[in-house]
Structure 1
Amino acid sequence: MKTVLIQNNRKPASDDALSKLLGLPKDAETDQNSTMWFGIENDSGEVYRLIGVDGVADYVKTLKQLSSAGYWVESLEAEMAGALHAVVKAQGDRQPL
């Protein structure tokens, strides 16, 4: 699993809990060669962190883990390499169906 922080987008206080939940590396990666990417939004609706996983199995496992922890996951159709496959919203930001 790789992660990239987006400069100038505020990292919320809940980021430490997210990092611990997923076992994210302390330092952001610069290598963006993962197979599938999803973005994590802050409470202002800005994607502040990208997380990349290698393969569909890791992608599904990670998103299920986030959903079980109370995050809301919006799947996207990535139409090109490097595009986001999902956006994860902060805990408590669930959208009505």
Structure 2
Amino acid sequence: MKTALIASEKRPQFDKNITNNLLLEAASEEAVRKETLVIGIRNESGKIYRIIGAPALKNYMNAVEELLDLGLVDELQDAEKSVDGYDSIFSL
């Protein structure tokens, strides 16, 4: 899966847990947004600071499971379609 940091946003302390638990390849924000499914992750200020792009549903589901295991909550879990280009948005 590909990931990009949003340059203007602060990385939270828990970010190292994400990068340790998921196999992520650094890419440009544009490349990540071209993936089939896109996950946004919010920092403590409520701003999306990292995006993760999954090429297939299996990869997406694996990432969602790992993020839930880290204690993050998917704000869009009950949404029937993507919101602002995100299929999931996770926060603490």
TM-score normalised by the shorter chain: which range applies?
0.7 to 0.9
| 1:15 to 2:15 alignment | yes
Give the CA RMSD over aligned residues. 1.7
Partner SS for 2:60 = helix
TM-score under structure 2 normalisation? 0.82
Which has the higher Rg, Structure 1 or Structure 2? 1
Q: Residue in 1 aligned with 2:27?
A: 29
TM-score (norm: length of structure 1): 0.78
How far 1:23 moved relative to its partner? Answer: 2.5
- Count of residues in correspondence between the two structures: 86
Higher percent of residues as helix: 2
- Identity among equivalent pairs (%): 28
Equivalent positions of 1:1-97 (< 5 A) are 1-25=1-25, 28-30=26-28, 31-32=31-32, 33-75=34-76, 76=79, 77-78=81-82, 83-89=85-91, 93=92
Unaligned runs of 5+ in 2: none
Q: CA deviation at 1:7?
A: 1.4
